[in-house]
């Protein structure tokens, strides 16, 4: 490409046996017509030695619009999840789930910064998948907490949360281990097309399991969730229904 007169800012070499490469062009060369000309020049230069199976190019305007729309979709999805948990349980559960979910997503973004991974729409999809996986695990534990709040009326909140976590711990670890093995296979064998997605999911499984146990439930303690409050509300609703 240097011989063709193209200036390269960054070059991503193939990993292992993967036959793909990424080229980051200078700002002056990122216009759509410049990219198409560059692809044509490269095809003419190396087409007789290599088989070019596919080429992809995204202009800066289209890329910016896609990323902007993806970020808005991610924020809207997380807001809808929190509202559902808030409506389904108590407001403390919704806030605890929001804090834990933000912890999972932000720490995943930190992985991309630390290891200088390419953050694209595939990685954004991974962040949404992590949010969904994380909230699913937290809802399972929250359900167990609510059941135990009705069953053990004289148990303190910390003891009740500890009991609920231990009861759901086997399910949480088995589910996380299964997903971890599946995602690890993607990291090792899926190739560069899914590399960002796989790395994000691998980290998300670990941190999502951690936050379900030590962040989401701990938030209920700091927000002073009282089992008596939920029990009284259920009793009042039952009395009104019977009346």
Residue 55 resides in a domain? no
Residue 65 resides in a domain? yes
Tell whether 71 and 36 lie within a shared domain: no
Task: With H, G, I as helix, E, B as strand and everything else as coil, classify residue 9.
Answer: strand
Write out the DSSP string of 54-73: ------HHHHHHHHHHHHHH
Tell whether 35 and 66 lie within a shared domain: no
For the segment 27-58, what is each residue's pLDDT rounded down to a tens digit?
A: 666 566 667 777 777 777 776 777 766 666 65
Residue 137 resides in a domain? yes
Tell whether 30 and 141 lie within a shared domain: no
Tell whether 19 and 109 lie within a shared domain: no
Q: How many domains does the chain contain in total? A: 2
Residue 163 resides in a domain? yes
Q: pTM, whole model, 2 decimals?
A: 0.64
d(C-alpha 53, C-alpha 51), whole Å: 6
Residue ranges, the chain, pLDDT below 70: 1-34, 47, 52-64, 66-67, 225-243
Query: Domain residues for 167?
Result: 61-242
Residue 181: per-residue pLDDT: 92
Tell whether 88 and 129 lie within a shared domain: yes
For the segment 144-182, what is each residue's pLDDT rounded down to a tens digit?
A: 888 888 888 777 788 888 888 888 888 888 988 998 999
């Amino acid at each position: 490409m240097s011989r063709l007169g193209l200036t390269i800012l960054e070059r991503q070499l193939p990993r292992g046996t993967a036959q793909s490469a990424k080229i980051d062009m200078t700002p002056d060369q990122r216009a759509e017509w410049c990219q198409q000309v560059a692809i044509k020049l490269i095809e003419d230069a190396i087409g007789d030695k290599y088989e070019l199976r596919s080429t992809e190019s995204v202009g800066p305007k289209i890329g910016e619009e896609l990323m902007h729309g993806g970020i808005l979709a991610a924020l809207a999805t997380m807001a809808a999840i929190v509202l559902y948990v808030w409506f389904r349980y108590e407001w403390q559960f919704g806030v605890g789930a929001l804090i834990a979910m933000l912890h999972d997503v932000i720490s995943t973004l930190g992985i991309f910064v630390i290891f200088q991974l390419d953050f694209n729409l595939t990685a954004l999809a991974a962040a949404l998948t992590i949010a969904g996986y994380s909230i699913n695990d937290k809802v399972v534990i929250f359900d167990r907490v609510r059941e135990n709040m009705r069953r053990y009326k004289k148990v303190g909140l910390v003891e009740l949360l500890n009991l609920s976590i231990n009861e759901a711990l086997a399910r949480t670890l088995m589910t996380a281990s299964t997903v971890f093995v599946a995602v690890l296979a993607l990291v090792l064998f899926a190739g560069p097309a899914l590399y960002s997605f796989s790395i994000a999911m691998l980290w998300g499984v670990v941190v999502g399991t951690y936050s379900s146990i030590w962040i989401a439930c701990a938030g209920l303690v700091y927000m002073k969730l009282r089992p008596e409050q939920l029990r009284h509300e259920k009793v009042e609703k039952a009395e009104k229904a019977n009346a």
